[in-house]
Amino acid sequence: MPGKNFLFVPGPTNIPDRIRRAMDIPLEDHRAADFPEFALPLFEDLKKIFRTEQGQVFVFPSSGTGGWEAAITNTLSPGDRVLQSRFGQFSHLWAESCRKLGMAVELIETPWGEGVPLEEYRRVLTNDSTHLIKMVLVTHNETATGVTSDLVAVRRLLDDLQHPALLAVDGISSIGSLDFRMDEWGVDLAVSGSQKGLMLPTGLSVVCVSEKALEKSKTAQSFRYYFDFSQMSASNAGGWFPYTPAMTLLRGLRESVDMLLEEGMENVYKRHARYANSVRAAASAWGLELCAKDEILYSDTVTAICVPEGMDSNDVVRNAYNRYNLSLGGGLTEVAGKVFRIGHLGDMNELMILSALAGTEMALCDSGIEVTLGSGVGAAAALLRSSS
């Protein structure tokens, strides 16, 4: 099919030309004498993306799943209890990774489309009077359902109960796109991935670690080597890595951080909210409901849209791709066939959003879902014009 693919899955995201050019360089010597002049400022500037002064940032050559493993194995010992709620595919997978790494998972089943169940967390943590729970997991932005949970409320709950558990956050589809404040919100471990708001190819996991979590890593008994904080910290202190880093991606990461800081993180958050509102306006004009159960939960990086009863969302995704070269996200596991997802994070502007909505309208009609062509595009365009 002629023309480009229109990529509107919630990751990987579109790579800006600036970042492409930054990565289009010959391979270089990561042991060169001047390498720390590149690495040390990058480590410091990454802290600005996480909004931390006290935390330490580690860059691992892995996907975000590797970041999950690093957070778990560096701060917990086999058999330690962790608290997690399952309300989407990625909160499920993080809990599963804890189980397979030898942790005892206290899992709260939550309807998909809802967020972190604060009252259930309060009940469990209140009953944990001997503090057997060592970590509380929060999937900040559940990509499968388009739900963003309230991290501030979880931190407040832990403080109210004076519970010492670490607060670990999956921020893979939020950090660099949604408001995130590591120090202010008392987050101990935050995991991000390069292919989302950082606008890079898949291949880097960026993990930010609080002083409290670093202290825990000194006594944690889980086996680790590749993801060992102590190895990484010792090397990073001088501007080095303990093994060969993904230099091409690091050059792209430098450019990504520059782009985000030039725009200003508050402006980045506002831009994502604006485009998310336009997608939600389109869904409303089509007469379709969102998977997220409450407006307060709506994600500004991905919108999961329900198809009418008796229809198959996989048809929408297939028609969008096969007929219009538009990549949309499908429904996963419990919402498979029930929702399709429009990713609106990273490198994005008004016409990119409108093109995705135009293709989605056509794919909906092709799939037998009756919408008025132009209705969603018009609603989104009106919102974008009025909020520019």
206 & 89 share domain? yes
Q: Is the separation of the CB atoms in 193 and 205 below 8 Å?
A: yes
270 & 242 share domain? no
In the structure, what pLDDT confidence band is assigned to residue 1 with cuts at 50, 70 and 90? confident
Please identify, among 235, 262, 289, the residue that sits at the C-terminal boundary of a domain. Answer: 262
Question: What pLDDT, on a 0 to 100 scale, did the predictor assign at position 3?
Answer: 86
In a domain, 155, yes or no: yes
In a domain, 232, yes or no: yes
Closest CA to 245 of 7, 16, 11, 43: 43
187 & 311 share domain? no
Q: What is the mean pLDDT of residues 58-78?
A: 97
Cα 294 from chain centroid (whole Å): 20
289 & 193 share domain? no
215 & 309 share domain? no
In a domain, 43, yes or no: yes
CATH of the domain at 320: 3.90.1150.10
336 & 300 share domain? yes
Q: What is the mean pLDDT of residues 188-217?
A: 98
Average pLDDT of the residues of the chain: 97
In a domain, 1, yes or no: no
d(CA 157, CA 170): 18
| Interaxial angle between packed helices 151-161 and 118-127, expressed in degrees from 0 to 180 and rounded to the nearest 10 | 20
205 & 325 share domain? no
289 & 243 share domain? no
In the structure, what pLDDT confidence band is assigned to residue 2 with cuts at 50, 70 and 90? confident
In a domain, 360, yes or no: yes
130 & 224 share domain? yes
pLDDT digits (tens, 9 = 90+) for 220-236: 999 999 999 999 999 99
Q: What is the 3-state secondary structure (H, E, C) of the chain?
A: CCCCCEEECCCCCCCCHHHHHHHCCCCCCCCCCCHHHHHHHHHHHHHHHHCCCCCEEEEECCCHHHHHHHHHHHHCCCCCEEEEEECCHHHHHHHHHHHHCCCEEEEEECCECECCCHHHHHHHHHHCCCCCEEEEEEECEECCCCEECCHHHHHHHHHHHCCCCEEEEECCCCCCCCCCCCCCCCCCEEEEECCCCCCCCCCCEEEEECHHHHHHHCCCCCCCCCCCHHHHHHHHCCCCCCCCCCHHHHHHHHHHHHHHHHHCHHHHHHHHHHHHHHHHHHHHHHCCCECCCCHHHECCCEEEEECCCCCCHHHHHHHHHHHHCEEEEECCHHHCCCEEEEECCCCCCHHHHHHHHHHHHHHHHHCCCCCCCCHHHHHHHHHHHHCC
CATH of the domain at 34: 3.40.640.10
- Give me the domain span that covers residue 171: 17-262
255 & 378 share domain? no
374 & 349 share domain? yes
pLDDT digits (tens, 9 = 90+) for 111-148: 999 999 999 999 999 999 999 999 999 999 999 999 99
List the structure tokens of 367. 């799939």
Please identify, among 222, 245, 262, the residue that sits at the C-terminal boundary of a domain. Answer: 262
Amino acid identity for residue 109 in this structure: E
Q: What percent of the chain has pLDDT over 70?
A: 100
By residue count, the chain amounts to 388
Q: How many domains does the chain have?
A: 2
pLDDT at residue 266 is higher than 90: yes
270 & 326 share domain? yes
Please identify, among 206, 235, 262, the residue that sits at the C-terminal boundary of a domain. Answer: 262
